[in-house]
Amino acid sequence: MASLFPSPFRNLAPHQRHAFAACFLGWSLDAFDFFILVFCVSAIASDFHAAASSVAEALFLTLAFRPVGAFLFGALAEKYGRRPALMLNVACYSVFELACAFTTSLHGLFWLRALFGIAMGGEWGVGAALAFETLPKEGRGFFSGLLQEGYVVGYLAAAAAYALLFPHFAHMTWHGYNFGWRGMFLVGAAPALLIVYIGLKVEESPVWRERQGQGVEREKAQGLSFNELLRYAPTFFFLVLLMTGFNAFSHGTQDLYPTFLQKDHHYSAALTGSVGIVYNIGALLGGIFFGGLSERFGRKRTIIVAALLALPMIPLYAFSRSLITLAAGAFLMQFMVQGAWGVVPAYLSELSPGPVRATFPGLAYQLGNLITSRNSVLQARAAERFGGYGKVLAFTVLIVACFLVLVTALGRESKGADLNA
The answer, yes or no, to whether residue 8 has pLDDT greater than 70, is: no
Mean pLDDT of 371-384: 86
**What per-residue confidence (pLDDT) applies to 189?**
86
The answer, yes or no, to whether residue 47 has pLDDT greater than 50, is: yes
Nearest-5° angle of CA 204, CA 208, CA 210?
105
Mean pLDDT of 60-81: 87
Residue 167 has, within 13 A of its CA and on its CB side, a CA count of: 12
| Separation CA 239–CA 230 (nearest Å) | 13
**What per-residue confidence (pLDDT) applies to 163?**
84
Considering only residues 352 and 230, tell me which one the structure prediction assigns the higher pLDDT: 352
| Separation CA 62–CA 362 (nearest Å) | 15
Neighbour tally for 72: CB within 10 Å: 17
Contacts of 6 (CB under 8 A, 6+ apart): 139, 142
Alpha helices (H) in 265-352, listed in sequence order: 269-297, 299-310, 314-319, 323-341, 344-351
Neighbour tally for 105: CB within 10 Å: 9
Q: CA 368 → CA 18, 190, 254, distances in Å?
A: 29, 28, 16
Find out whether 330 and 110 touch, Cβ atoms under 8 Å. Answer: no
The answer, yes or no, to whether residue 4 has pLDDT greater than 50, is: no
| Separation CA 370–CA 314 (nearest Å) | 26
The b/e string for 248-272 (b: 16+ C-beta within 10 A; e otherwise) is bbbbbbbbbbbbbbbbbbebebebb
DSSP label of 178: E
| Separation CA 94–CA 110 (nearest Å) | 16
The answer, yes or no, to whether residue 141 has pLDDT greater than 80, is: no
Q: Rounded to two decimals, what is the model's pTM?
A: 0.75
Nearest-5° angle of CA 106, CA 119, CA 182?
35
Percent over 90 (pLDDT), the chain: 28
Neighbour tally for 298: CB within 10 Å: 18
Contacts of 404 (CB under 8 A, 6+ apart): 242, 245, 246, 249, 303, 307, 340
Could you tell me the pLDDT band of residue 336, with boundaries at 50, 70 and 90? Answer: very high
DSSP label of 413: -
Find out whether 38 and 275 touch, Cβ atoms under 8 Å. Answer: no
The answer, yes or no, to whether residue 419 has pLDDT greater than 60, is: no
**What per-residue confidence (pLDDT) applies to 296?**
85
DSSP label of 177: E
- DSSP, collapsed to helix, strand or coil, labels residue 419 as coil
Which amino acid, one-letter code, is at 344? V
Contacts of 258 (CB under 8 A, 6+ apart): 38, 39, 41, 272, 276
| Separation CA 293–CA 401 (nearest Å) | 19
Residue 391 has, within 13 A of its CA and on its CB side, a CA count of: 8
Average pLDDT across the chain, whole number: 85
| Separation CA 320–CA 302 (nearest Å) | 28
Q: CA 222 → CA 78, 137, 359, 390, distances in Å?
A: 10, 29, 14, 50
The answer, yes or no, to whether residue 217 has pLDDT greater than 50, is: no
**What per-residue confidence (pLDDT) applies to 213?**
67
| Separation CA 144–CA 36 (nearest Å) | 25
- The pLDDT tens digits for 186-200 are 888 888 888 999 989
Find out whether 350 and 300 touch, Cβ atoms under 8 Å. Answer: no
What CA dihedral angle connects 66, 192, 291 and 350, to 10 degrees?
Answer: 60
- The pLDDT tens digits for 271-316 are 888 898 899 889 889 988 998 888 888 889 999 999 999 999 999 9
**What per-residue confidence (pLDDT) applies to 54?**
87
**What per-residue confidence (pLDDT) applies to 230?**
67
Considering only residues 375 and 403, tell me which one the structure prediction assigns the higher pLDDT: 403
| Separation CA 273–CA 227 (nearest Å) | 46
The answer, yes or no, to whether residue 334 has pLDDT greater than 90, is: yes
37 burial type by CB count under 10 A (0-12 exposed, 13-18 middle, 19+ buried): buried
Contacts of 276 (CB under 8 A, 6+ apart): 39, 155, 156, 158, 159, 162, 163, 257, 258
| Separation CA 188–CA 88 (nearest Å) | 17
